[in-house]
Structure 1
């Protein structure tokens, strides 16, 4: 939210009192207008909503006093007057307003959409699963390129055959080496190690998290093929760990090199056991990981499923900070690990955006969108014309985007019905117009008609849901109106009050002259005030300041030679001060040029100079205050003018109803 937005939103809530209530009070009001402004009705709900929204719901309900209600009503009327004036000036028709308001709408509507509730469910489910880690093995059966339905059936039968072997006593890890199309199975024998939510493709994750330890899945279809999955273990998620390591590399194909690496890592491990050994020195000298050997072998934080299984298991088995693991072998070489830090899994609030980002990047995003469309279709009475769709698909699937509309017209298919939604029939010509307006083509496979028809349906359903919310969701209506009016209010105030108050220098001077009595200096005096923070430095300061009177040379000398050299010993201020209300000067003898006083246990050395009688401030000395007061004057003048310009009639009965609703 930018500065302009904050200002508009904040100002629209200036009249909101912080009492205790809930949105439910709106249900207790009628549709009767609270007032008419320039002949246009303003509903009770709007006032009740804005007051209720500003209340502190964490405190017990206390209601609204009559006085507070009247004050808020006056502010509300002033607010509505300014919004009306903004409309009269056409500010709601400006391009800048439309751009800003439409940007707001995209954000404001999201919590009310079907999609949001479905996404929220997936977020919560993913985080719930993250409380656990699962260890599973699998056998993967991939489809051949350009597989036919017969090919897919053959692959499924093979998966079922291997599943039966496992159920009859076969070992899934041995069978993975024999049958799996997962290249890593030759190394890990199908053992995927521990993982948690959002680290596997969705069908695989769903199946694994629904299996008990030792249980075997039916063949699970994913984009990779069919998986037969067996869960080996389930554990609470240990969170995240940070380790440093030493690495000694070797070529896996060279047994001599591997043996030499094994001896070297053993010697390093023995050296580390000595009390005099410095870990960082050993890492720098012996580790063959160039990315970490100059910084103590430090690796980034990681959780389960982020490292190769054997490295990960060794890291999480360490329990004490500084604990060192025995040498372990991975595909990268031999390692020794040292535990640096551990922490539990982050809270949902800390992980929410990360989880959302991952969900929107994987297949769950498509699943959510499919569910959204299905719910929208059911809610808004969506009925397809199957015969027309078949005809259009046959005629137009082979066209491209640019030739779609000409092909439709040449076949006289423009008026072919596609579907009915909320009683309205949408035709092929509307699909063609939609395609023409879209600049980019979707990067998915399929026939032109089929692809664009699905996009058109989704877009039309989304627009229908948005219109439904605007027409029937009272809370969203009020929120939308609040932001719309807030932007208009800001635009008007910026134009007529804030910017004018800053830039109208002639108006500022005139206001200053007419109100000169507001801008008066009280009796003043020149003073240099030194607060002694270090009492051992008091004598030195006293010797320099005493008997010399107030002068700039003295001040500059003290600042340069004493305060600068011992900055923690003194705190100083100098200038011309109104002394009557000054914390220190109000306590000194104004007839003595130097004095030492105690205030609240602190010692002050005060040097006094010339006195100045009460007098008007110069305009330049008052400019900041004048601008503030001038803006307040412009605001009041604007409000008074609008009250004369736009007639207001208050409905006494509706006003009382609003008061009672807020105190129910």
Structure 2
């Protein structure tokens, strides 16, 4: 029996406090029935669910004892579930099989595809390379002839690299317009800055090497040469003094003299920020002492990036010339590269967007080779055209056109497993994914591709436990979570009696728990212009029905059909309710500026703070009663389980927790 969403959510939540029940070396905290808890096991679980080792080391004795109590309760309940034979229940076994299948696939994709690529992306993020390229442009939609012509031109240029400078070839042959100026030099960049195929090829090179095979991107074919590679030092905070040239550069000598004087004053001790305010031509930064922000090297000219790379914080660069004039720069600080944990979310988002699809295809193709996916060539050719192409698999008789002699034949095999035509048709029929596919030859080929791929991945997933011991732990925790949920349903929730008389009794004993705060009921007309609001307010005050006006004029989504009625609201809900609380009932406000528009409100009623009636509070009472009853029943049950299974703890040992260093704990 598959878990409902509610069941799965509960099991997932409970999984957060699960504890593996085998003893390991270290101090013994105690025994729970047949199981032993060691200090190391406690530390590992506590650190996992409480912010890590360093944070856990700051925990109090009381916090540790509370967590230990949760573990004790959990393990008592799971032992009781096994004692009741729930681990042998067929519905539990069915759910675990289904879960194992789905989690194994997701686990393998994460461990074998996503995680390695995220780590590679992080390594590239912490390295910067300087590369040059020659682009032979050809559009992705170009004809085969044009594509071949571009490829052959790229090969021709590649053959010249050994005998001519790369930058000279770039100026002559590259279709990148910037090559005329920079000779194809792209400057420094880290991972994630270029399209994937270009980045992969560039990072695969050693310094001085160039690609032997032209690299295809959506822009065309590239020949790439690696000029330099080095560890990234993160981002650099810079301030500058700009001494700008005149537009016609007639003042070149004067600018050079000015720069020399400024440098001399800086060397004599003039504060850099003061020098920027006095001499910089950059009006945007001079009043900030020349501060121009934070830069990674991919945002800087390569020559400047080289200058800044080895300059310590607080140092001033020699004057650096650009087409605008001379810059004198000061390194005001450096922000080191972020940790993997800090950038993981961004890396994951970028990978999902830019690389996952193509990497997944390669991953699957490798698995198909590994597990020897083979098709019957005759059936592969004949099956796609054998269906009524006007039907979907949700229509009656959709498979009647398939010859009965085909049904028992092997359509494809994966390793030692065979899938017959009949089994394939069953998969199509059982899958919601394909129900609306019109069974054209193209659609059938797509369905066949997806189902056969699924078979390959399923086969691979069967070995997950053997290759990843952590997977067994996940499955064990999930099984314990299912058992925990089932035993709590049997021993707690299903033993709670609910009746009208019991709910009324609970309500009478806890009336003050069910209260209304001060409330107000209004009707509102919301429009975007003050002029329209004034007009509508005037009409309402002249006696036109406020609700009818609201139905016609309000632009608040879904409030037109309700004639502007908000229903009862706490007076603290928003500014409108606060204003309404100051007005008499049956009064109409002037237009009120609210939420980028204008509101007119009619106060329909007021209700001072009071205890809710039983009828008003009934759903809350039912929930509170069941929660209270469950807590009471659980405490009685836990007391019984402690007597049945036995619990012996040495809580004083918890004072030794987290005294090891974090690296020793790993």
Q: What is the TM-score normalised by the length of structure 1?
A: 0.54
CA contact (8 A) 1:247 1:288 kept: no
**Structure 1 residues 371 and 496, CA, compared in 2 at 3 Å: closer, same or farther?**
same
Q: Distance in 2 between matches of 1:439 and 1:283?
A: 74
Q: Distance in 1 between matches of 2:383 and 2:85?
A: 49
The equivalent residue for 1:256 is: 247
Matched with 1:329 is: 322
Alpha-carbon distance in structure 2 between the residues aligned to 1:481 and 1:184: 59
Residue equivalent to 2:149: 154
2:330 is the alignment partner of 1:366: no
What is the distance in 1 between the residues matched to 2:249 and 2:479?
71
- Superposed CA offset, 1:374-428 (max 9, x none): 225524x5322333334456789x9899799899769648959642235231546
SS, match of residue 305 in structure 1: helix
What are the superposed Cα offsets for residues 515-568 of structure 1, whole Å, 9 maximum, x if unpaired?
A: xxxxxxxxxxxxxxxxxxxxxxxxxxxxxxxxxxxxxxxxxxxxxxxxxxxxxx
The answer as to 2:160 corresponding to 1:165 is yes
State the match for 2:207 in structure 1.
Answer: 213
Which residue number corresponds to residue 188 of structure 2?
194
How many angstroms apart in 2 are the aligned matches of 1:341 and 1:439? 60
SS in 2 for 1:167: coil
Distance 1:203 1:306 in 2: 21
Q: Work out the CA distance in 2 between the residues paired with 1:249 and 1:448.
A: 65
Query: Take 2:304 and 2:391, find their aligned partners in 1: how far apart are those partners?
Result: 52
1:191 to partner: Cα distance: 0.6
- The structure having more radius of gyration, on CA atoms, is 1
Matched, 1:278 2:273: yes
- Paired with 2:34 and 2:298, the residues of 1 have a C-alpha distance of 53
Q: 1:139 deviation in Å?
A: 0.6
In structure 2, the CA distance between the partners of 1:74 and 1:263, relative to structure 1 (3 Å rule), is closer
Change (3 A) 1:638 1:406: same
The answer to whether the 8 Å contact 1:133/1:237 transfers is: yes
Alignment of 1:485-496 (within 5 A): 485-489=480-484, 492-493=487-488
User: CA separation of 1:365/1:20 partners in 2, compared to 1, >3 Å: closer, same or farther?
Assistant: farther
Contact between 1:119 and 1:368, CA under 8 Å: does it hold in 2? no
Mapped pair 1:54 → 2:10: no
Return closer, same or farther for 1:306/1:326 CA change in 2, 3 Å cut-off: same
Cα drift, residue 192 of structure 1? 1.0
The aligned counterpart of 1:13 is 19
Report what 2:412 is aligned to: 419
Superposed CA offset, 1:11-37 (max 9, x none) = 54386656359xxxxxxxxxxxxxxxx
In structure 1, what is the equivalent of residue 234 of structure 2?
239
Confirm whether residue 228 of structure 1 aligns to residue 227 of structure 2: no
**What is the rounded CA distance, in whole Å, between the counterparts of 2:271 and 2:314 in structure 1?**
18
Deviations 1:485-532 (A, max 9, x none): 22442565488569999x99x99x9xxxxxxxxxxxxxxxxxxxxxxx
- Offset at residue 204 of structure 1 (A): 2.9
2:79 alignment counterpart: 80
Distance of aligned partners of 1:198 and 1:343 in 2 relative to their CA distance in 1, 3 Å threshold = same
Output one character per residue of 1:584-614: Cα deviation in whole Å (capped at 9) or x when no partner. Answer: xxxxxxxxxxxxxxxxxxxxxxxxxxxxxxx
Structure 2: runs of 5 or more not aligned = 1-7, 28-32, 46-70, 506-628, 647-666
> CA contact under 8 A between 1:242 and 1:341: conserved in structure 2?
yes
Question: Structure 2 residue aligned with 1:383, among 365, 370, 374?
Answer: 374
Structure 2 counterpart of 1:316: 309
Indicate if the aligned counterparts of 2:104 and 2:464 stay in contact, CA closer than 8 A: no
Q: CA deviation at 1:286?
A: 5.2
Residue 177 (str. 1) matches residue 180 (str. 2): no
1:452-489 Cα distance to aligned partner (Å, 9 max, x none)? 44333333433444455479987634531322322442
| Other-structure match for 2:636 | 633
**TM-score, normalization by structure 2:** 0.54
Secondary structure of the corresponding residue to residue 455 of structure 1: helix
Q: Is the 8 A contact 2:394 2:436 kept in 1?
A: no
Distance 1:463 1:639, change over 3 A: farther
Cα distance in 2 for residues equivalent to 1:266 and 1:356: 52
Q: Which residue of 1 aligns with 2:433?
A: 437
CA contact (8 A) 1:109 1:476 kept: no
Structure 1 distance, partners of 2:85, 2:225, is 67
Aligned pairs for 1:191-590 within 5 A = 191-223=185-217, 224-245=219-240, 256=247, 273=265, 275=270, 278-279=273-274, 282=277, 287=282, 289=284, 298=291, 301-307=294-300, 309=302, 312-313=305-306, 315-316=308-309, 318-321=311-314, 323=316, 326-329=319-322, 336-348=328-340, 350-363=342-355, 365-375=357-367, 378-379=370-371, 381-391=372-382, 412=402, 418-421=411-414, 422-425=416-419, 427=421, 429=425, 432-433=428-429, 437=433, 448-466=443-461, 469=464, 476-477=471-472, 479-489=474-484, 492-493=487-488
1:154: how far off?
1.6
Counterpart contact for 1:242–1:339, Cα < 8 Å: yes
Q: Secondary structure at the match of 2:247?
A: helix
Deviations 1:79-132 (A, max 9, x none): 2323666959x9978xxx98x998998667644x16523444434444455554
Return the alpha-carbon distance in structure 1 between the equivalents of residues 282 and 454 of structure 2: 57
How many residues are matched? 470
Following superposition, the deviation at residue 313 of structure 1 comes to 4.2
Residue by residue over 1:190-227, the C-alpha shift from the partner in whole angstroms, topping out at 9 and shown as x without a partner, is: 11112233433343334333434333322323223221
Q: 1:203 touches 1:222 (CA, 8 Å); kept in 2?
A: yes
Distance 1:152 1:3, change over 3 A: closer
Residue 245 and residue 435 in structure 1: after superposition, are their counterparts in 2 closer, same or farther (change >3 A)?
A: farther
Residue 599 of structure 2 aligns with which residue?
none
Distance 1:638 1:344, change over 3 A: closer
Instruction: Map Cα deviations across residues 557-582 of structure 1 (whole Å, 9 max, x no partner).
Output: xxxxxxxxxxxxxxxxxxxxxxxxxx
CA distance in 1, matches of 2:239, 2:395: 63
The whole-number CA distance in structure 2 between the counterparts of 1:499 and 1:283 is: 81
Q: Is contact 1:245–1:283 with CA below 8 Å preserved after alignment?
A: no
Between 1:256-265 and 1:319-328, the stretch displaced more is 256-265
- In structure 1, distance between residues paired with 2:452 and 2:116: 24
Give the alignment's Cα RMSD to 1 decimal. 5.9
How many Å separate the matches in 2 of 1:336 and 1:132? 27
**1:405 & 1:121 partners in 2: Cα distance?**
44
In the alignment, the residues of structure 2 paired with residue 333 and residue 317 of structure 1 have an alpha-carbon distance, to the nearest angstrom, of: 24
Contact 2:129 2:188 in 1 (8 A): yes
CA distance in 1, matches of 2:397, 2:215: 39
